Structures are given as C-alpha cells and as structure tokens.
Structure 1
C-alpha cells in the first residue's frame, strides 16, 4: 500500500472526476501515489491536469470505464443512482464511497482547518492555503475553486496542516474532524436538502461538535446566523470559541476596513494590539474572510504578524471577482455569486471599484429550487447594478419546477427599480453587452453556471 493512502482508496474510480470537489480529492490521491481513474461528462483543463498527474480520465459515462480491480467508486451527491458506472459498481460489488468520506480519510493524522459557511468558503480556504504555503508550512489543501497563483484547487503537501473547504449543502461537512473549524455565516440555502433554519443550525451544530477536544471554532461576530450558532454551541465540552468581525465584543475585532481600488487595507485588534495588513482583492466581505483566515491560523499557533503579511499575497480564486480582461476601455469581471447575499456583496464591491462608472451585469440564476425560494431577493440585489441582462436558469443537477423561471427574478428587480432585461439565448449576450458598454464601464458576469464562458466572448466583441 502506498504511504498515506487508505487501502480503500488505492485504486479509486471517480464518477464526475472533473468537478471542483471531486477533482481536488483525485489530485491529492494521485500525488500520494494512488492509481486514480474516473470519468466526466466533457473534456476540460481539469481532466488534462489529472492526466498529467497520472490519472486515467474517460470522457462520458459508461459501464466499461470502471476497471474490475477498482478498490472503490467515489461519488458526490450529484451522481444519480442510474449512472451506468454506479450500476456496474453494484454488479462487481465495488464499495461506493462518498467524496466527503474520501476527503475525511485524507485529513487523518494532520492538523485540519475546515472552512464552512453559506458563502465565502472557497475564498477563505484559498487565503489560508496561499498564506501557509508562503510561510513555508507546505500545507495540503482541497478547495472548491482554482487559485490564481498555483492554478489548482488541491495539493498534497509535506507539512502537517490540511486546509479544506467544508460543504454544508448535503451535510457532508459533518464527516470531518478538524482542529480548527471556521463558520463564516449561516443562512438558509440548499432548499432541496434543508427545510428550515432549524435544520441548518442542527447541521452546523453537528459540524462544530466534531472539532477535536481542545480545538477551536472561529465564527463571525457580525452575521446573525453565525451569532445564533455561537449562542447554541458555546457550552460544547472542550470547544474554544473565537469570534471575529466588526462587533464591539469580537475576540478579533475589525477596527477599520479601507478600500483602495481593487484592494483593501484592514486593521484588526488582536490580543490588545493593532495589526494592519493588505487584502489584495476588493470588497468588504473578502476583507472579513481574510480576518477569519487570520484568526484560524493564530489558533494553530502561527504568529499573527507573519500570517497577516502572507495573507496579503493572496490574489484571488478563479470566478471570485476575477478580472477577465479589458477592451475598448471596458473591464470584464467574473463572479461565482449565486445566493442573494453573495450577489449583493460582490455588486457593492464592484460599485466601489467602478468609481462612478456604470456597472453592467449579466446574471444567470443557478438551480430551480434556489430561484423558487430566493428569486425575489436575487432581483432586489440586481437593483445595485446600473443595468442587468438575466439569462434562463442554469439547472445543474435539478429537473425543472413548473412555473419557476428567471421571470421571477426579473419581476422582483423591476419592482425594486432596476433596469433589467431577459435574454433567453446566451449567444446573444456578447453583442448585446458590446452594444451597451461605454469606455469606463465595468461588466460583471455573475452566476455559478456556464455564464463564466461569456467573459472572453464579450471581450472579443468589445475589441471589434
């Protein structure tokens, strides 16, 4: 058995190996020496990166892709029971492992930091990965997005720290046993899996209850859901609670956040001393993510001053306010935001960076269930833009819900006074944006689906 690889994961087969979460686990296993194989719906740069690490990646799903000697089949909650490779696994009696169990196994024996919250997880996890790497601590990490620097979402490091994004959407984060847990915020989302805020709180309570005895929970002192979670878990045996934020009583208190174009300067009070550092991405919410990362690293014993400087070297994650380019005096930025809180935060950040120029948004709603529950709030968030083009709903893993369309968002946006237009044909967007945009404008493509593909096409139309 290869060192550092559980026996069940020596020859894993990943169904949907190109996904953000799945590919990260596959990369780490390949770097540890496992014989990794898998399949994905389409060719991608991620598939090529996995092949470069020695993995076998099939395109399309077919029973024949699963090797008879596979030690397990790794799946996410998005894989349907009738997937031919999953059916074949049952015929061969190959064990099926959820990706969260595979990730939990990779964390064993290491000091783990698990980053949770309704939004901000990818950015905060990435900040920690970049900062700890910059300090020479060589962490392992698994992130739901590609870093701008290393250009990957996961790595097997030689150090004793493992930083992981902890996904609450399907309760899989309850599998992890971290030394430090971060909870950035607690809001109602993932409506197919949670029926109420009480269910959300119960899920997060189970997650924080898995922190190792004597370990630390780093939690927001500002966000209402996080404050309520703190009230519920403060009595958990052996759990150290460290709060951060702008609230007066926060343990790591934010004294000031000063926007400086596409960066921010942050001053915190930590241990009675003031500490000022730079966050090299725009927006108040990203500055607060950086403070959460700082508090978590300090909880592991890393000197605050060194860690703060290292956090300043983080330059972003793909799709998190990522500058795609500039043409004809117009900047095009891409955002993964799909929950109303994320949308409003990114729009406010871009409004600040636009410095009086117009902010034009191309928004693609993500999931029918999310639109059904939060469509009104999404429309209200779009009122922060000068003008918006709204695409049809990106279904991802869901089947349509009768009567649920992007018109719900458009109606709410118009009620809030927004200038918003429906565009049902995505191919029309680049020309439409090029016809609207003027020098100095900022264009933001927003959503968790394939709206991200439009940035380069918009830039091409602007150039012409």
Structure 2
C-alpha cells in the first residue's frame, strides 16, 4: 500500500455504471448505497456474502460473491480500496479496458461536491467524532448526509441526505486519502505518528495532516490539548482556524469536567457562551470529540443548545466502548483501540466508570509492523489495567516478522504490573475462559483491538452466564 495522489472529481451521475470491488467492506458499502440512491447503476463484488451485501441489494445494487472479470459488465467506472491488489481479475480487466479506476476516497469525495462538506481526521477519535456530527445532523433535522467508519445506533454507517445539505465523512490518513475531500470544515482530533509503513517518518505524517487541514478554502477545527494538534495549529499560521480543548489558549474551552458511571459531562465555552454537554459515553476524550461536533454544528448554523441536547442522546458507534453484556455484576465492553494512545484513553474511560471495581483488559495487537514500532507504548498503556490478557498478533495484510510477537508487549507490561497479572491466551476461546475466570462482581472486562478480538466479548458473556457448562 502506498500514499494516494488526489484526482479530479466528477459528479457521480456522470460516471456511467459504477462497479465496486470489495463492495461489502465498511468503507465501500456506504458509498455504493449512496450512489445507488442517487440513481447511479451500481454493481459490486466481494469474497463472501454478508449483511452489507444484503443491505446493498435492498438499494437495488447488483452484487456478486467472488471476483471474475465478466462481472464488470458495461461498467464505465471501477471503484477500489487500498486493499484490492492489481492482480484482482476485475481490476486487471478494468485496466485492460482503459476504464476509469477510482480509489474509494475519490468516489466518496464526489458525493461532497456542491454541499457543505465536513471531513474529520485524526490519528484517534475520527470515527466517534464523525459519528457524533452525523448524529447531530440527523437529530437536528438538517437532512444531512454522512459516510462514517462504523454504524450509528440506527445501524447505518451512511446516508445520502438532501441536495445542498451538509455532508460529513471520516477522513482516513493511513493511505493519504484524506487529502481527496473537498471539505469546507476540516476537523483534526489529534496527530500522533502511525502508519509509518506508508508515511515513512513521523515528520512526513505530521506534514500530511498540515496539508489536510489547510487544503481548502474553509476552516480547520483542531484539538490543541494534543501536542500534535497544538503543533499543527501553530503551523497553520493565518489559515482560518478554531481551536478547542481544556487549554486556556483554546478558542472553545472545555471546563468543569466530571465523570460517573453514566458517562462524562462538562461546560463548553463557545464564543463566550457556556453550553453544558452531558454524554452517555465515558472519558475526557469523548468530551473533546463532542466539543468538536459542537463547533462544527455551530459553524453549520445549528443552535449549540440544540446540538448539545442531540449529543446527550449519542450512545456510541460500533466498537467504540460498546457494551457487549453484563452478567453477575461484570460488565463486558468492546473497543477498536489499536494504538497505545487509544488504549490509554479507553482504559482511562473504563477506570472513570468502574468505581471500586477492577479493569481487566484483553488486547490483540494489530499488524506486525505496528507491534514492532509501538511495543513499548502498548506495554506501558496496558499497565493501566489491573489484569491483562494478551492474544497473538492479528497480521491482517502483513506476513509475520522474525522476533515480533505479543511477548514484546507482555514483557513491558509485566515489568510494570508485576508477575502473575499478564496472561497469554493461545486462542480467542482460551482468552474468553481466562477473562471469565479473572472477573468478579464490579469489574469491567474490555476486549481491545482492530482484529477478530471483537468475537471474544460474547464468549465471555456466555462463560460468565455458565452457558455450555
């Protein structure tokens, strides 16, 4: 995978029939559904049937299971993700025919043409923040559209919305595709080195965010509590900018923060006017995310008090501190955190909400390269838990690297927590058994990572309930 070069965008209705390769993915299915809702003739393929393919068929999309060159039909445009290899028979056929081939980010960017666009970027928090903005747009009756990285409470991760209404997207920096979006408002939640397999150096990664934030005739919205965000704000110079955070230097300041089992609350000083935000999700990081959403809502003409009321009804996006179940006083929660800073934040949120109970974390590292680069950071972050269960690395697109294993993380965590509190699990099922055995009433069990660790939570609930015993 390499960094992408932005392309000129066209109205989706001028593209002819459009074929999506890997159409069932979270990042593709929402875009394909929006194209179909625009009246574009859409087809697509994926390796296996899924709920997303069924959803797309409901939008009138022709779907195929498996990849075959003949499935392109009379398509004039083909949309791919960074995960689609040149050897894919459909992509190879599109190249041989000289068809227009767009990355998914271009297909998404085209949906923003002629609309007040909002692009939400950041190393962490972009899914939750974009979901919060989408929630506000819907709850406040704007008829806005969105494509975000995880389903909202409605079960939908995308909505076309009305012509001319606001449109919000989650802007992924991993492959540079966040530079593609024609957004008038560009949110940066934080900047911390990641995806160095593509960017090469932390400096190049930070410079990419500077290009993203300053890339349109609009305004950047930046969290300056984050060191990378503060550096970005300074680098933007005279570019239109609004900053937010607990810092006294922030344009929009977060004050009077408090935590309880229900969530987090605070007062937001927006243009000198105090607005109370009371959220049903935990953690200062979520209060910051909601503050960004409040700023965006105000810039789009939504009354801040109305937006704050809407945010009080936001209860999270899929795999973002998502409740899995509760048995015998033990809460089980699943989260997508896969970077040390994200783990810091999710464990702090768990600690804020657990009271006298313990925090038991099950972590599955994602990618060998990320484990190699951040093993010490992962180990230090996990030491904020009381007990830790470590799974093997989820390699995803990568092959194993010599000497890179979960033990690199476990050694660091053990050095901080002491012996007997870090447990290696040989499988997902083994992890569930260990977690259920460790948990006692009042504890919270967190399953954390970007791979298939998400399947462990339900297994823990079943084990706690004695199912199958």
Q: Give your verdict on TM over 0.5.
A: yes
Instruction: Report the counterpart of residue 234 of structure 1 in structure 2.
Output: 237
Instruction: Render the CA deviation track for 1:404-441: whole Å, top value 9, x for unaligned.
Output: 11111111111222621111222222222222222222
TM-score (norm 2): 0.93
Instruction: Report the counterpart of residue 437 of structure 1 in structure 2.
Output: 439
Instruction: Render the CA deviation track for 1:225-255: whole Å, top value 9, x for unaligned.
Output: 01111111123xxx32100001101110111
For the 8 Å contact 1:128–1:163, the answer to whether it is kept is: yes
Give me the whole-angstrom Cα distance separating, in 2, the residues matched to 1:262 and 1:60: 45
1:36 aligns with 2:42: yes
SS, match of residue 29 in structure 1: helix
Give me the whole-angstrom Cα distance separating, in 1, the residues matched to 2:53 and 2:257: 40
For the 8 Å contact 1:328–1:439, the answer to whether it is kept is: yes
Instruction: Render the CA deviation track for 1:355-403: whole Å, top value 9, x for unaligned.
Output: 1112111111111111111111011111111111111111122222222
Instruction: Report the counterpart of residue 18 of structure 1 in structure 2.
Output: 24
For the 8 Å contact 1:4–1:32, the answer to whether it is kept is: no
Which residue of 420, 429, 434 maps to 1:427? 429
Q: How far is the alpha carbon of 1:4 from its aligned partner?
A: 6.4
1:331 aligns with 2:335: no
Give me the whole-angstrom Cα distance separating, in 2, the residues matched to 1:61 and 1:362: 36
For the 8 Å contact 2:284–2:349, the answer to whether it is kept is: yes
Give me the whole-angstrom Cα distance separating, in 1, the residues matched to 2:351 and 2:36: 42
Instruction: Report the counterpart of residue 5 of structure 2 in structure 1.
Output: none
| Unaligned runs of at least 5 residues, structure 1 | none
Instruction: Report the counterpart of residue 136 of structure 2 in structure 1.
Output: 131
Instruction: Report the counterpart of residue 205 of structure 1 in structure 2.
Output: 210
1:60 and 1:327, CA in 2 relative to 1: closer, same or farther beyond 3 A? Answer: farther
For the 8 Å contact 1:6–1:105, the answer to whether it is kept is: no
1:219 aligns with 2:225: no
Give me the whole-angstrom Cα distance separating, in 2, the residues matched to 1:45 and 1:357: 37
Give me the whole-angstrom Cα distance separating, in 1, the residues matched to 2:257 and 2:77: 48
Give me the whole-angstrom Cα distance separating, in 1, the residues matched to 2:62 and 2:325: 34
Give me the whole-angstrom Cα distance separating, in 2, the residues matched to 1:262 and 1:41: 41
Instruction: Report the counterpart of residue 253 of structure 2 in structure 1.
Output: 253
Q: How far is the alpha carbon of 1:196 from its aligned partner?
A: 1.6
SS, match of residue 6 in structure 1: helix
Q: How far is the alpha carbon of 1:187 from its aligned partner?
A: 0.7
Instruction: Report the counterpart of residue 299 of structure 1 in structure 2.
Output: 299
Instruction: Render the CA deviation track for 1:321-353: whole Å, top value 9, x for unaligned.
Output: 000111232211000000100001001101111
SS, match of residue 353 in structure 1: helix
1:284 aligns with 2:284: yes
| Unaligned runs of at least 5 residues, structure 2 | 1-9
For the 8 Å contact 1:131–1:313, the answer to whether it is kept is: no
Which residue of 152, 160, 172 maps to 1:156? 160
1:455 aligns with 2:469: no
